[in-house]
Structure 1
Amino acid sequence: MNFKNSNKLKMLALAISTMVTAMSASGANAESYEQEMVIVHPFQWTYNNIARECTEYLGPGGFDGVQISQPAEHINRNDVWWAIYQPVNFYNYTTMEGNESELRAMIKACNDAGVKVFADAVLNQRGGGSGTGIGGSYYTEYSYADGFDSSDFHTGCAITTYADAGQVRYCALNGLPDHATDRDSTQTKIAYYLANLMNMGINGFRIDAAKHMGYTDIESILAKTANITGKRPPAYLEVIGADGEAADIQPEKYTYINNAVVTDFDYVRQIASAFGDGNYGEALSLSTYLGSNAEVFVNNHDNEAGRCSAGTCSMGTQNNVNYHLAQSWMSVWPVGTVRQVYSGYSFTYHDQGGPLSAARCEGGWLCQHRVPYVLNAPRFARATRGEAVTSQGYDDGVLWFNRGARGFYAMNTSSSSVTRTFNVSMSDGTYCDILGTYDPKNTPCGSDVSVTSGTVTLTIPAKSAMAICSDEQWCGKVPDPCDSNPTGTECLCKNETTDVNGYCLSYCQANSSDEYCYCQLNPDASECLSGTQNTRINLCYAGTSNSWVLEKMKYDVRTGYWNLNVSLDGSANQRFKVAEHCSWGGTVYGSSGNQGQLAVNTSTTGDEYTSLTGNYALRIRDSDMTYVMDKLDNTAPVAAFTYEADKLSVSLTDASTDAENDALTYYWNFGNGTSSTEKNPSVTYDEAGTYVIALTVTDARGAASRTVSQSVTVSDRTVIDQTRGSLCYAGTSNSWTFDQMTYNESTGYWTVTVNLDGSASQRFKVVDGCSWSGSTIYGSSGVAGQLTVNTSTSGDEYTSLSGIYTLKVKDADMSYSFENVQ
């Protein structure tokens, strides 16, 4: 077919279609993508390897989904990665990565592990020429064994410019037969192919080369698929935007498609600037111009550095610890409805295919997704989903943020370990670092982390990250509120319905004097029945007086006011705001310009100022956000204490204060079933472990402090302090990437598990700082079993061992040994 003559009708149809679509899109947004998710793309992995990975790592690691290669039979080559993008039979499921039975087994294994399977869908083009496919099907150009024939293809032209949308959609890409996706009959055939995959258990699709198809065509294909299966498949569309190309093939044109998101290649540029170029603070301002319609990623198989098939290049992906940091941050930072982690293989030229016959993480597979702070990042994403970032920062090389009471994440971008104390919004107690485990299925926790009085102190290894969260399913260890505060609302109400203040009947029966319990205890009282129901949801106060920590206010149904006692210092810059949902992502109220009246105000200069000094009751009327500050006569004391631990014994020193200098009484809970009313008691525990010690003080007028607690670890063993910063292993066995070693303070040894092949060239180094630049590098000393500083390229330490071993390196003198694991 002659493109010049035949294309006039097509161009007219395209113009009409575009007008209709534009009017539709301007009137309503697309139906939202069905859920936020983090997926992983193990590029070129076989079905058998993916099945095992889903069960052993991806499911336990929290990944929502896994992307597999397109599953239809393709041209008969397995030495180049792009062969699989030339399908020849939509009903033969043998590819270079497995056969149909292996495909079905993989889908079941992943679904059973809670990992949804997304298939790459190559719908724009077919394999060209003629021959026999990799699964034995014979084909000729425009005639295929699955029933597609010449009526299903555009013919007579090739793409010579991307400035013409019609040519991009209706002409051959790289000389390959171009599906006529604008034709109803062809759309139906494609829809049955997708439906067949969904019936196997495939959840959704990545649509390859989507801009080479009309957006109305893709919408029709997915709608037809939904009519066949009864479920609209979620999809993410590869649309590479570029200056100078036709406006109608730009990514934003495809965002109206229901239950679909679109790739944002500009995000690749942004995150490369932050992590590839060392501008780490930019990570806090990552964004996508596609909003909630975006799929984001550090790289995909097309634009991976060294391949760059998409016209642009990502940051370096191989032997680059900053790439691992970027993938971890991308997974947890709430930008992009779909966020895709990539895991590739070593390659030296553009077309090189993956090492299909190799076992996982061997023979060239890089397993970038297995880096612990990448592997477990989806757990944090799932645990904090739906909660906005409430505070964030980049200080002295550390990126950090809070997502309310659900989680805290911190990343050390520097080349040496860092110890820092952070303010967090999570309840006091003992959590665990979920990013510190290599095996979330069997060992879901790294080191224990204690939150005390709203702060957490972390020692973050070089070029690594740590995170804690409060979700019982994903966070490994969640403190029981009854351990730290057995008389508080979180403990007494954890199994009961609560009111807006978090109070329940059990709590109020034990605290009948609490004025906010009146309606819980007297629900039929007239003032409770006729009370003012709140219209705001969970107001929190934050200001200079409490270091901008969101502090929950209590609502009194009888008066219609939200209440909180605050201590003010009268400073010139004293100010505050109030946030609904106790989140900076909720409605934020600040200055209205009229004293005593709050209004919606998100400006950084829109705080409400006050010059008051002393202790006040802040009362905000729910109906109109007017407020008053009432002076308080008596201020509750503030409980505080310090401690010293000596093996199993702990000595406690009171540091509580009272504004009126009243005499105080004390109640200590030692967390082991014992207590004390002394001012400065001591306790000896029967067993080593971590205990939560809580203190409540009461003044002479009966005002009780808030209970404060600290986690105290006691042990009867000797602790050997480490002298190195952060050791990493790198060698031929892991393609010279950095594997973080773990320090055992009881033994004084650093350990890491390595898989050795016994080759003659097998060698390694150990690096303090986990970077080839600015770190101390240990290699051969010339004495077996002893490492020394050696930066020479010929100074690697050789070993002829074969099998899985634990490498043990003594911190004190860098002597080492291998212990056989299997």
Structure 2
Amino acid sequence: MKAVVNILIILSFTFGVIRSVSADTILHAFNWKYSEVAAKANQIAQAGYKQVLVAPAMKSSGDQWWARYQPQDYRVIDSPLGNKEDFVNMIQALKKVGVEVYADVVLNHMANESWKRSDLNYPGTDVLADYKNRSSYYAKQTLFGDLSQELFSANDFHPAGCITDWNDPGNVQYWRLCGGNGDTGLPDLDPNNWVVSQQRLYLQALKDLGVKGFRIDAVKHMSQYQIDQIFTPSIISGMYVFGEVITSGGKGDVSYDVFLAPYLNNTTHAAYDFPLFATIRDAFSINGGLNELHDPQAYGAALEGSRAVTFTITHDIPNNDGFRYQIMDPTDETLAYAYILGRDGGTPLVYSDELPASEDKDNGRWKNVWDKTQMVEMIAFHNAMQGKAMTVLHSDHCTLLFKRGKQGIVGINKCGDAQNVTVDTNQYELNWYVDYKDVLSGAKEQITSRYHTFNLPARTARMYMM
């Protein structure tokens, strides 16, 4: 494996201090069982990942992937993906090989159980009875609290009502996420003193187990007051925290201006870089060009690198019908990975799922993405180039060529014909008479004159390392 260069980004703000982190690649082990993550700990480390984002650790039921995002109880880790014992074993297995665990946390709402009961008591009498009947088992799965009592009641929720205006923060943050056909929606938690105290205890308990970061699900639906109350300086100290604020673009887009910009302005957290994702999708479209990726942050089409979690796909995109239009062509997705793993800026996230056949709409397309040879080589390039400055050498409709220091060169050609890109090697200070080897194909490039032409085959990326 190539040497990993850890360049630390210090994030210190008035609101608290987030731990020093390098922009190491996160594996989103979506819907993986905790025991499966533990079993693959060595492979994950060898592939170059330094963090793994795992499924929400709480009490939930139902085999569907979305059931993991419907909490029944924060005080217990017990779901079809594993229990507290499995969770702890996973953390320990990954820690042994130098990989950290980030936990997906769902704090906006509780499970929609209106189909079976009318009250808003959680976890509900059936679950409390199970706690009592299997007390020895649940004693081992408990994070905190008294399992003989309900966690929440009707007083801990906002009034029922579905979101109708997705551009109105008040509507989005105080009403429910609902489906169609009369669905009453996910009960929306009110950040009163009791709710906040329990959510803090939950996060602290995960932190005490060894979790090193939190992904905040649906943070767009939480008020700034709620976020501030839960994520205290002591909770986020030493942690990497990033939120999911879905937008359709960058600066000037309503969803960015109304939701994402205030979230970043009022917290120290990072966030999914949906502005960059929108730019990537447009750049790889028929009418777009890779010149849009020349410097997207300069015109508000990407987040500041130290606050950005970059990606080419998230779990919502293939698994929710309303987002499936954002799925990229497989080749374009690979080229986009070469871009986010080759560029300087952002913490890349690699999505790889484990879904039952009944829920997998794409025939296992993302099942083993994390460990494919091409992905591992791209991560090796990313790790080796951390801290090396990025300079764009050329961009046009079809191609993007940039360097990382003098040690790395990335070339991407999205078009159906080979493209030649000639650069002035004196101007850009590239090394002569040394081999640059493409980690993806093994092809070698050697510069022997001032003007050097890079040949980029059709629909291909090159990631040269000196």
1:45, 1:203 → 2: CA distance?
19
1:217 matches 2:229: no
2:148, 2:430 → 1: CA distance?
60
Q: Structure 1 residue 215: deviation in Å?
A: 1.9
Instruction: Tell me if structure 2 keeps the 8 A contact 1:328–1:373.
Output: no
Give 2:220's aligned amino acid: K
Residue in 2 that maps onto 1:71: 57
Give 1:300's aligned amino acid: T
Instruction: Tell me if structure 2 keeps the 8 A contact 1:59–1:114.
Output: yes
Instruction: Tell me if structure 1 keeps the 8 A contact 2:100–2:212.
Output: yes
Question: What whole-Å deviation, never above 9, does each CA across 1:515-549 have from its counterpart, x for those lacking one?
Answer: xxxxxxxxxxxxxxxxxxxxxxxxxxxxxxxxxxx
Q: Structure 1 residue 246: deviation in Å?
A: 8.6
Listed as ranges, the matches of 1:329-478 within 5 Å are: 329-335=339-345, 337-344=346-353, 353=359, 366-394=367-395, 397-415=398-416, 423=425, 425-426=430-431, 428-430=433-435, 432-436=437-441, 446=442, 462-469=458-465
2:417, 2:355 → 1: CA distance?
28
Residue in 2 that maps onto 1:179: 189
Q: 1:98 to 1:353 in 2, by over 3 A?
A: farther
Residue in 2 that maps onto 1:323: 333
Instruction: Tell me if structure 2 keeps the 8 A contact 1:120–1:205.
Output: yes
- Residue of 86, 104, 114 corresponding to 2:88: 104
Question: What whole-Å deviation, never above 9, does each CA across 1:138-195 have from its counterpart, x for those lacking one?
Answer: 499xx996733444332344433335433432333322222222x2332221111112
Instruction: Tell me if structure 2 keeps the 8 A contact 1:29–1:256.
Output: no
- Counterpart secondary structure, 2:37: helix
Q: 1:368 to 1:89 in 2, by over 3 A?
A: same
1:394, 1:378 → 2: CA distance?
23
- Counterpart secondary structure, 1:73: coil
Q: Structure 1 residue 333: deviation in Å?
A: 2.0
Give 2:51's aligned amino acid: G
1:34, 1:294 → 2: CA distance?
15
What do you get for the CA RMSD once the two structures are aligned? 4.1
Instruction: Tell me if structure 2 keeps the 8 A contact 1:45–1:354.
Output: no
Q: 1:112 to 1:365 in 2, by over 3 A?
A: same
Listed as ranges, the matches of 1:655-734 within 5 Å are: none
- Residue of 265, 288, 291 corresponding to 2:304: 291
2:207, 2:18 → 1: CA distance?
20
Give 2:400's aligned amino acid: L
1:301 matches 2:347: no
Give 2:390's aligned amino acid: V
1:289, 1:459 → 2: CA distance?
28
Q: Structure 1 residue 31: deviation in Å?
A: 6.2
Give 2:276's aligned amino acid: Y
Question: What whole-Å deviation, never above 9, does each CA across 1:746-782 have from its counterpart, x for those lacking one?
Answer: xxxxxxxxxxxxxxxxxxxxxxxxxxxxxxxxxxxxx
Q: 1:68 to 1:222 in 2, by over 3 A?
A: same
Query: Normalising to structure 1: TM-score of the pair?
Result: 0.44
Give 1:185's aligned amino acid: W
- Counterpart secondary structure, 2:186: coil
Q: 1:30 to 1:195 in 2, by over 3 A?
A: closer
Q: 1:458 to 1:101 in 2, by over 3 A?
A: farther
1:268 matches 2:281: no
Q: Structure 1 residue 455: deviation in Å?
A: 8.8
Q: Structure 1 residue 123: deviation in Å?
A: 0.5
- Counterpart secondary structure, 1:205: strand
1:49 matches 2:36: yes
1:168, 1:395 → 2: CA distance?
39
- Residue of 107, 114, 117 corresponding to 1:123: 107
Residue in 2 that maps onto 1:86: 70
- Counterpart secondary structure, 1:178: coil
- Counterpart secondary structure, 1:390: strand
Residue in 2 that maps onto 1:165: 169
Residue in 2 that maps onto 1:545: none
1:40, 1:459 → 2: CA distance?
32
Q: Structure 1 residue 125: deviation in Å?
A: 0.7
Q: Structure 1 residue 402: deviation in Å?
A: 0.9
Give 1:55's aligned amino acid: N
- Counterpart secondary structure, 1:383: helix
Structure 2: give runs of 5+ residues left out of the alignment: 1-12, 131-146, 179-184
1:184, 1:417 → 2: CA distance?
62
Instruction: Tell me if structure 1 keeps the 8 A contact 2:16–2:233.
Output: no
Listed as ranges, the matches of 1:519-558 within 5 Å are: none
1:383, 1:240 → 2: CA distance?
31
2:459, 2:256 → 1: CA distance?
41
Structure 1: give runs of 5+ residues left out of the alignment: 1-26, 356-360, 437-445, 471-822
1:154 matches 2:158: yes
Q: Which protein, 1 or 2, shows the higher relative CO under an 8 Å CA cutoff with sep ≥ 6? A: 2
Residue in 1 that maps onto 2:242: 236
2:458, 2:35 → 1: CA distance?
35
Q: Structure 1 residue 308: deviation in Å?
A: 4.5
1:261, 1:144 → 2: CA distance?
37
Q: Structure 1 residue 104: deviation in Å?
A: 2.2
1:347, 1:463 → 2: CA distance?
32
1:447, 1:47 → 2: CA distance?
39
Q: 1:353 to 1:84 in 2, by over 3 A?
A: farther
Q: 1:327 to 1:289 in 2, by over 3 A?
A: closer
Aligned length: 412
Q: 1:345 to 1:419 in 2, by over 3 A?
A: farther
Q: Structure 1 residue 120: deviation in Å?
A: 1.1
Instruction: Tell me if structure 2 keeps the 8 A contact 1:233–1:259.
Output: no
Q: 1:330 to 1:410 in 2, by over 3 A?
A: same
Listed as ranges, the matches of 1:130-149 within 5 Å are: 137-138=127-128, 147-149=151-153
Residue in 2 that maps onto 1:256: 265
Q: 1:232 to 1:432 in 2, by over 3 A?
A: same
2:411, 2:78 → 1: CA distance?
44
- Counterpart secondary structure, 2:394: strand
Instruction: Tell me if structure 2 keeps the 8 A contact 1:70–1:85.
Output: yes
Structure 1 vs Structure 2: percent identity of aligned residues?
25
2:46, 2:280 → 1: CA distance?
27
- Counterpart secondary structure, 1:63: coil
- Counterpart secondary structure, 1:411: strand
Instruction: Tell me if structure 2 keeps the 8 A contact 1:33–1:259.
Output: no
- Counterpart secondary structure, 1:159: coil
Q: Which structure's residues are more often helix, by fraction? A: 2
Q: Structure 1 residue 88: deviation in Å?
A: 0.9
Q: Structure 1 residue 87: deviation in Å?
A: 1.2
Give 1:314's aligned amino acid: Q
Give 1:122's aligned amino acid: V
Q: Which structure's residues are more often strand, by fraction? A: 1
Give 2:320's aligned amino acid: R
Question: What whole-Å deviation, never above 9, does each CA across 1:492-536 have from its counterpart, x for those lacking one?
Answer: xxxxxxxxxxxxxxxxxxxxxxxxxxxxxxxxxxxxxxxxxxxxx
1:459, 1:172 → 2: CA distance?
53
Q: Which has the larger radius of gyration?
A: 1
Instruction: Tell me if structure 1 keeps the 8 A contact 2:109–2:186.
Output: yes
Q: Structure 1 residue 256: deviation in Å?
A: 3.1
